[in-house]
Amino acid sequence: MKDYLNETIDAISKIVHFDSTCQKPTPTTPFGQENFDCLCFFLDMAEEMGFKTNNYEGYAGEVIYGNGDEDNEFAILAHLDVVPAGLGWKYPPFDGIIAEGKIWGRGTTDDKGPAMCCLYALKMLKDQNITPKKKIKLIVGCNEESGWACMKRYKELAHMPEYGFSPDADFPVIVSEKGILHVRMHFPFPVKERPFLYVQSRLTANMVPDRCYSVPVDGVYDSVRMEKYGLRTKLPKLVSVGKSAHGSTPELGKNAIEPMLRYYAEKNARCAELVHTIFEDPYGLTKIQRDGEFLTMSPNVIRTKSDGLHVTYDIRYPSTMTLKEVKELLAQYGVLYETLSHQAPLRADPESDLVKTLLSVYEDCTGVKAQPIGIGGGTYARALTHGVAFGPEMPGDEPTIHQPNEYITLERVELLLKTYYEALKRLCC
């Protein structure tokens, strides 16, 4: 195990070097060159291990171990793309620094680290001449964080197994995931009434923004109000600094848009109305809960347009709600909005053999008795007819996904190798 652990740690450190955020496409690289290079790096490693691989036009790739027809396949669904790094890092976000018993960098936990652990779990099976009774497909997508075109294209070009898991959430086993809805609301704001030339935040819909920028129309900066709301200047811009967080857990971040709008709201009635509408939940949507799951609604992107302000919301709604119900709630805002993307909730059978087997693996590898849980995040498990999420985070972990200083501990890498190896052995061999 020690040799596999050292190799896996080294591989995670290396793959973190690729800034695999979704970038400008080319005719041969749908999500940008570095994203494509990251996929090739992963598949090349798998080929060197002796696995068959396929690269599906840069959208996704797969590593195959074992034989079987389409009715006898098992999927591991991971992703190699990452969200933007943002600011405030202790170590450079794309250097893969190994220090303090951890590998630091964007993607170490979400989701390059777990993807590598699954690849080395397959290598362990292969090196031990353990032949699976099912065809195992380790499928890696390249834009999970920004639209899932990767999974759509994979299904057009290849066969998606019905059963499997995604190593992209939490332990012990995730059997429910909230619905995910991204909408862009258009709030009217006549140009002549605006106290700013523009307001602009970062572009990632599923990430609480850690920066927001604007320029006052009159070029005047009120130092008293700036201090009150924690703003600063980087001439000619006014800058609001927040803290990034995953869109499913906005309470763990500090949205940089809010203090910027509150700064202007003290002198502008329309801005005051928008602060109330956008940040004070006038219709009580975030108080809605079903079976212990609360609706969250995070305004993560703001842009100034000719007709007003466009605000993109990341909405996570309880798995027992319907999209129709959510849209009826949004109608209360009385403004034009467009749906950017939607993922229906995931609800898996907690009594299925898949769930029971994964639970037993978790309990045997950790010594902890556990029950299936639900989350607000969304994983590739939704792409499967019968899928769940399985790791890598544990209860009590420091939350760093989509935040500065993302890391994975070396101890966790060792546990993931052991856990994913055992899971594949029991489910497929």
Mean pLDDT taken over the chain: 96
Residues 156 and 133 both lie in one domain: yes
- Sign of the C-alpha dihedral computed for residues 149, 78, 407 and 230 taken in this order: positive
> Helix 2-15 vs helix 410-428: angle between axes, to the nearest 10 degrees?
110
Confidence of residue 406 (pLDDT cuts 50, 70, 90): very high
pLDDT at 249: 94
335 and 374 inside one domain: no
* Nearest by Cα to 115 from 204, 237, 218, 20: 20
Residue 215 confidence (pLDDT) above 90: yes
CATH of the domain at 48: 3.40.630.10
CA dist., res. 395 & res. 378, Å (int): 18
CA torsion 107→101→13→205, rounded to 10°? 10
In the chain, the number of structural domains is 2
353-391 pLDDT, tens digit per residue, is 999 999 999 999 999 999 999 998 889 999 999 999 999
State the pLDDT at residue 291. Answer: 87
Whether the per-residue pLDDT at 289 is higher than 90: the answer is: yes
- Please give the Cα distance from 389 to 173 (Å, whole number): 6
- Of the residues 343, 361, 386, which one is the last residue of a structural domain? 343
Task: Look at residue 319 in the predicted model and tell me its pLDDT.
Answer: 93
Q: Are residues 149 and 252 in the same domain?
A: no
Q: Which residues contact residue 302 at a Cβ distance below 8 angstroms, ignoring those fewer than 6 apart?
A: 199, 200, 201, 212, 257, 309, 310, 311, 312
Indicate the pLDDT class of residue 202, thresholds 50, 70 and 90.
Answer: confident
Does 201 lie in the same domain as 64?
no
Q: What does the alpha-carbon distance between residue 364 and residue 192 come to, in Å, rounded to a whole number? A: 66
Same domain, 33 and 132: yes
Instruction: Tell me the CA distances in angstroms from 12 to 102, 109, 210, 298, 416, one per residue in order.
Output: 11, 10, 26, 31, 13
The three-point CA angle 141-142-147 to 5° equals 95
Residue 295 carries which DSSP code?
P
Do residues 201 and 159 share a domain?
no
Distance CA 15, CA 113 (A): 9
**Amino acid type, 68:** G
Q: Which domain holds residue 246?
A: 179-343
End-to-end Cα separation, the chain, in angstroms: 20
- pLDDT, residue 1, reads 79
Q: Copy the structure tokens of residue 207.
A: 């990430």
Cis preceding linkage at 168, omega within 30? no
Last residue of some domain: 298, 327, 343? 343
* 34 shares a domain with 183: no
Q: What is the pLDDT of residue 147?
A: 85
Q: In the predicted model, is pLDDT for residue 203 greater than 80?
A: no
Q: How many CB atoms lie within 10 A of CB 397?
A: 15
Tell me the pLDDT tens digit for each residue of 90-118: 999 999 999 999 999 999 999 999 999 99
Q: How confident is the model at residue 2 (pLDDT cuts 50, 70, 90)?
A: confident
Question: Does residue 152 sit in the same domain as residue 208?
Answer: no
User: Are 90 and 234 found together in one domain?
Assistant: no
Residue 216 is part of a domain; what is its CATH number? 3.30.70.360
Residues 199 and 119 in one domain: no
Residue ending a domain, among 326, 343, 360, is: 343
Q: What is the three-class DSSP state of 164?
A: strand
- Is residue 16 located within the same domain as residue 116? yes
Same domain as 303, residue 245: yes
pLDDT, residue 87, reads: 87
Return d(Cα 42, Cα 53) in angstroms, integer. Answer: 10
